[in-house]
Amino acid sequence: MNFFPVWQRNFMVWRKLALPSILGNLADPLLYMLGLGYGLGQFLGDVNGVPYLTFLAAGTLAYSVMNSASFETLYSAFSRMHVQKTWDAILNTPLSLADVLLGEWLWATSKSLLSGLAILAVIWVLGLHADFALSLWLLPIILLTGLCFSGLGLAVNSVAPNYDFFMYYFTLVITPMVLLSGVFYPPDALPDWLAGFAALLPLTHAIELARPLVLGQVPAQPLLHVLVLAAYGGAGFWLALHLTRRRLLC
Amino acid sequence: MPASPLTLKGLTKRYGGTAVVDGLDLEIAPGRCHGLLGPNGAGKTTTLRLALGLVTPDAGEIQLLGHPLPAKAAPARARVGVVPQADSLDPDFTVQENLLAYGRYFGLSQSEIQARIPDLLDFAGLSGKADARVPSLSGGMKRRLTLARALINDPDLIILDEPTTGLDPQARHRVWQGLRQLTARGKTLLLTTHFMEEAERLCDRISIIDRGRIITEGSPRALIRDHIDAHVIEIHGEELAAWRPRAERLCRRCEQAGETLFCYTAEPETVIAELDHQPGLRYLHRPASLEDVFLKLTGRDLRD
pLDDT tens string B190-201: 999 888 889 999
Mean pLDDT over B152-163 rounds to 96
Mean residue pLDDT of chain A comes to 95
pLDDT at B154: 97
Question: Which of A234-238, B19-23, B185-189, B245-249 shows the lowest per-residue confidence on average (mean pLDDT)?
Answer: B245-249
Q: Rounded to 5 degrees, what are φ and ψ at B272? A: -65, -40
Contact pairs from chain A to chain B, CB under 8 Å: 65
Closest by CA to B233, choosing from B269, B285, B191, is B285
Could you tell me if B156 lies within 8 Å of chain A, comparing CB atoms?
no
Predicted-complex ipTM score: 0.92
CA distance A197 to A193: 6
Whether B74 and A96 have beta carbons less than 8 Å apart is answered as yes
Report the phi/psi class of residue A127: left, alpha or beta, with left for phi > 0 and alpha for psi in -120 to 50.
left
Contact: B97, A12; criterion CB under 8 Å = yes
Contact: A12, B105; criterion CB under 8 Å = no
pLDDT at B197: 87
Computed on alpha carbons and rounded to an integer, the radius of gyration of chain B in Å comes to 22
Residues of chain B in contact with residue A8, where contact means CB-CB under 8 angstroms, are: 101, 104
Give me the residues of chain A with pLDDT under 70, please.
Answer: 1
The answer to whether residue B1 scores a pLDDT higher than 60 is no
Contact: A95, B78; criterion CB under 8 Å = no
Tens of pLDDT along A163-204? Answer: 999 999 999 999 999 999 999 999 888 999 999 999 999 999
State the helix-helix crossing angle for B139-150 and B95-105, rounded to 10 degrees.
30
pLDDT at B304: 65
Query: Which run of H or of E encompasses A13?
Result: helix A4-16
Instruction: Please provide the size of chain A in residues.
Output: 250
pLDDT at B196: 87
Domains and CATH numbers, chain B: 6-225 (3.40.50.300), 229-287 (3.30.70)
The answer to whether residue B302 scores a pLDDT higher than 80 is no
pLDDT at A20: 84
Count of structural domains within chain A: 1
pLDDT at A84: 96
Confidence of residue B220 (pLDDT cuts 50, 70, 90): very high
How many Cβ atoms sit within 10 Å of the Cβ of residue B236?
15
| B188-193 vs B205-210, strand pairing mode | unpaired
Nearest CA in chain B to A13: B92
What one-character-per-residue DSSP string does B26-64 give?
A: EEE-TTSEEEEE--TTSSHHHHHHHHTTSS--SEEEEEE
Q: How far is B250 from chain A (nearest CA, A)?
A: 51
Question: Which of B75-84, B89-98, B162-171 shows the lowest per-residue confidence on average (mean pLDDT)?
Answer: B162-171
Mean pLDDT over B125-145 rounds to 95
pLDDT at A1: 63
Tens of pLDDT along B30-50? Answer: 999 999 999 888 999 999 999
Contact: B93, A94; criterion CB under 8 Å = no
pLDDT at B262: 93
Mean residue pLDDT of chain B comes to 93
CA distance B130 to B95: 5
The one-letter amino acid code at B31 reads: G
CA distance A148 to A170: 16
Q: How far is A89 from chain B (nearest CA, A)?
A: 6
pLDDT at A45: 86
Whether B61 and B10 have beta carbons less than 8 Å apart is answered as yes
Closest by CA to A94, choosing from B70, B4, B124, is B70
Whether A213 and A138 have beta carbons less than 8 Å apart is answered as yes
Q: Which of A91, A245, A247 to mutate to test the interface with B (most CBs of B within 10 A)?
A: A91
Q: Rounded to 5 degrees, what are φ and ψ at B106? A: -95, 5
Structural domain span for residue A238: 4-248
Q: Rounded to 5 degrees, what are φ and ψ at B26? A: -155, 135
Computed on alpha carbons and rounded to an integer, the radius of gyration of chain A in Å comes to 18
Residues of chain B in contact with residue A95, where contact means CB-CB under 8 angstroms, are: 74, 105
